[in-house]
Amino acid sequence: MAPAYDVEFVEREERKARFLVRGVTPAFANGIRRAMVADVPTMAIDEVRFIENSSVMFDEQIALRMGLIPLTTPPEGEFVEGDTVTLAIDVEGPGTAYSGDFVSSDELVKPADLNVPIIDLKDGQRLEAEADAAMDRGKSHARHQGGVAVGYRHLQRVEVVGDRDQFEDEEPHIVRGVIEDDGELVPTSEFDHDLTVRYPGKEVRIEDVPNAFVFHVETDGSFSVEELVTRAIDSLEQRARELEDAVQL
């Protein structure tokens, strides 16, 4: 019943990846993209109790900045939506309060980036606060969005159909994404996105490969790209099952 999907990585880093998926419909590809953006729960600060804030910014401005700091999200099953973790910060000026100054009550949830400036403190200014991080989805607020700049393109197949006319103008032929050339995957950045660089003097034809999509996924540091994609697919599957149960006779 379940068709086999063919997944191939073009580029793979901890927070950024590009991979090719074959055998999915455009609707399913978009479903995965949307799930990555809006349906994977992540931790983010959503309530702050200020004990002292004598900095130049208002409490709510600082609370917003704290909320946007990515926090590492614990492995699946450790937390459910609605659970909270407390992070405390206490910094006295002169100096800058960084996201790395947060002390977490749980090892699993801590700032993913330690170098984000929260507020610059002058002589005698102080920031002391307790923040509650909660698990929620990108749907409810952008701070809970784990995927950054998630998108996909069709895989394009390039075919040489002949030689270019001798007196034809040498115009650049710009293509972006990943092309397939005799089964080999080539990111267009390798030839400066210009097909005339890769195939000089040739006439080429480009066509979309049906049902093959190249995803570009980045995360904000809450988890790895792999984790984000598998969790997105799990959430799709879970919702599909819920629907199935709901419409059963």
Partner 1 sequence: MMVPVRCFTCGNVVGEHWEEFDTRAKEGEEDPQEVLDELGVERYCCRRMLVSHTDLVDVVSPYQ
What is the total count of residues that contact partner 1 (CB under 8 A)? 25
Q: Convert 147-190 into a string of H (helix), E (strand) and C (coil).
A: EEEEEEEEEEEEEEEEECCCCCCCCCCECCCEEEECCEEEEHHH
41 binds partner 1 (CB under 8 A): no
Which of 120, 128, 130, 226 touches partner 1 (CB under 8 A)?
A: 120
Nearest approach, Cβ of 113 to partner 1 (angstroms)? 5
Choosing from 142, 160, 197, 243, the residue that interacts with partner 1 (CB under 8 A) is 142
Residue 221's region, left for phi above 0, alpha for psi from -120 to 50, else beta, is: left
Q: What is the distance, to the nearest Å, from the Cα of residue 47 to the centroid of all Cα atoms in its chain?
A: 24
Kindly tell me which of 136 and 220 has the beta carbon lying closer to partner 1. Answer: 220
149 binds partner 1 (CB under 8 A): yes
Which segment (27-35, 83-91, 145-153, 204-212) binds partner 1 by CB under 8 A?
Answer: 145-153
Instruction: Dig out the tokens for 28 from the structure.
Output: 């399913």
| 70 or 177: CB nearest partner 1 | 70
Is 122 among the residues that bind partner 1 (CB under 8 A)? yes
- Is 197 near partner 1 (CB under 8 A)? no
Q: Per-residue string for binding with partner 1, 42-81, x by CB under 8 A?
A: ------------x-xx---x---x--xxx-----------
Decide if 58 contacts 88 (C-beta within 8 A). Answer: no
Best CA proximity match to 19, nearest among 180, 157, 147, 152: 152
213-232 residues near partner 1, rule: CB under 8 A: 218, 220-221
Per CB under 8 A, the list member of 10, 88, 108, 116 interacting with partner 1 is: 116
Eight-class DSSP state of 81:
T
Q: Which of 99, 121, 97, 124 minimizes the C-alpha distance to 110?
A: 99
Of 17, 32, 87, 118, the one binding partner 1 by CB under 8 A:
118
Question: In the β-sheet with 16-22, what is the strand arrangement from edge to edge?
Answer: 6-12, 16-22, 202-219, 147-163, 178-181, 184-187
Cα dihedral angle (191, 194, 196, 202), rounded to 10 degrees? Answer: 90
Residues that bind partner 1 (CB under 8 A): 54, 56-57, 61, 65, 68-70, 99, 113-120, 122, 142, 145, 148-149, 218, 220-221
